[in-house]
Each structure stands twice: as C-alpha cells, then as structure tokens.
Amino acid sequence: MSTASALSSSLKHHLAFGLRFPQNHALCRRNAARLTTSRSFTVAMAATPTSPLEVCVKASVTTPNKLGDCPFCQRVLLTLEEKHLPYDMKLVDLGNKPEWFLQISPEGKVPVAKLDEKWVPDSDVITQSLEEKYPDPPLVTPPEKASAGSKIFSTFIGFLKSKDPSDGTEQALLNELSSFNDHIKENGPFINGEKVSSADLSLGPKLYHLEIALGHYKNWSIPDTLPYVKSYMKTLFSLDSFIKTRASPDDVIAGWRPKVMG
C-alpha cells in the first residue's frame, strides 16, 4: 500500500513505501477510553502518531522487495509492532546505497527513523525515543534485568568466526548462554517476567541469527542442557510481531558469509 511521503519533493521520486499497520488495534480503543478529567477539562493521556512513522531498514539480498537480515533493524520494527504504531518501511539496498538515503544517513547505516521531523540513527536511540514519545504499552526493562544476555551476541560472533576449535570461543558462548538460562529459569518466560520488554526485542533478533548462522556454518545448536534458553527462543520467535519482522534464513546466512569466509 502506498502512502504520501513526508520527505522533501526531491526525494519522493526515489522512495518505495511499505506501509505497515500492526494487527492488534486494541490499543487505539484503550487510548480512546483512557481519559482523565480535571474540572471541566478532558485530556487524552497517550500520544498517537498523526501519520505512519518512517523507518529505513536493510533490504533483502536474496529476494526483491523483502526485509533484509539486520538484527538492529528488526529490533526497531519489533518495537513499533509491540507498541502498535503504524509505520512506513523503506527498504535500502546497502550494496548500492541510493542518493536519497545518503542524504538522510550520511554514514550509510540502518536503521534510521524519522522522529519529530528529524532522521534519527541507531537502534538504541530510536527505541528509547519511541518509549518516551509513545509510553503505552510500556516496554521498559528494569535496570537490574536489562543486561541479561547482553554478552551473548559478541561471544556468538567470536565463535562463528573462529577457525580453531580449541581457542575457547565455544566455551565463552556456552558460559553466556548458561548464565542466561539461569536468568530465564528464575525470571521467565521473558527477561522481565510474564511480558515482553525492550531487552527481549533487542536480544531476540540476535538469537535468531545465532541459531541460523551457527547451524549452517558450524552444524551447531543450543544444547539440551540449556532448556530455558531453548524455550525462551521458541516463545519469542513465535510472537506475531517477530514472525512479521524476521529475515529469511537465506538472508541471515548470506549476511554472515563475509565474516565466516573473511
């Protein structure tokens, strides 16, 4: 579905819009009903976007007009989905970056989102801004739990790139996964308990890449001795928002090939 672009007229010709409306519209009804009255004044509590939010993400390298394999892009899209915010998804070919994209992202990186008429880079900044601007439903992870699983991604990359089976990179990954297994055992099913939060939306795409890339390049999978990690991944990967925003396995495999072969 196409929609009117908020970009300058010089850029409009080059943009292909992918309008996304989250399937759960109950939030709109809740926001409409959530009013506070002070004397004769009635004020709506929750902010809602006046138009779909624009976000630039990596395009697939295997299938035309499909979402690519960037876990940081998926994190932003997951946040938009879980907050039930409509958005325009702009697919960017990072192998041949168009001029309109370089005008709004001089470093040529994704994701980039347009917030308050400014293009904002970095998934950390974007998701924090979305939380502040659209706080309902809340996705904040308490500080004492926010770092759970935060070292898994770096140890995964180290193991994936390793050429030496005895260099300790596999054990380093297993140590981080074991620590996370203990956290989910005590706090699950999600990092902050019963409801998904921002930490899950950050870690989930990385675990998805881990599962596919290590399975393909090393014939490796999460061991059965870590049942809570496996259950966590299954639960998170089955969310409607995750299914809607995930990359294809072929794109994930292609995306990691340069690091593995490099």
Active site residue 70: yes
Round to whole Å and give the CA distance between 197 and 120.
22
Distances in Å between the alpha carbon of 127 and those of 12, 76, 172? 26, 6, 29
Lookup: tokens for 241: 């928002």
Rounded distance between C-alpha atoms, residue 143 and residue 255, angstroms: 32
Q: Which residue among the candidates 28, 56, 70, 73 is catalytic per the annotation?
A: 70
118 alpha carbon, distance to own chain's centre? 20
Alpha carbon distance 250, 241 (integer Å): 20
Residue with tokens 């593995």: 260
Residues marked active site are found at 70
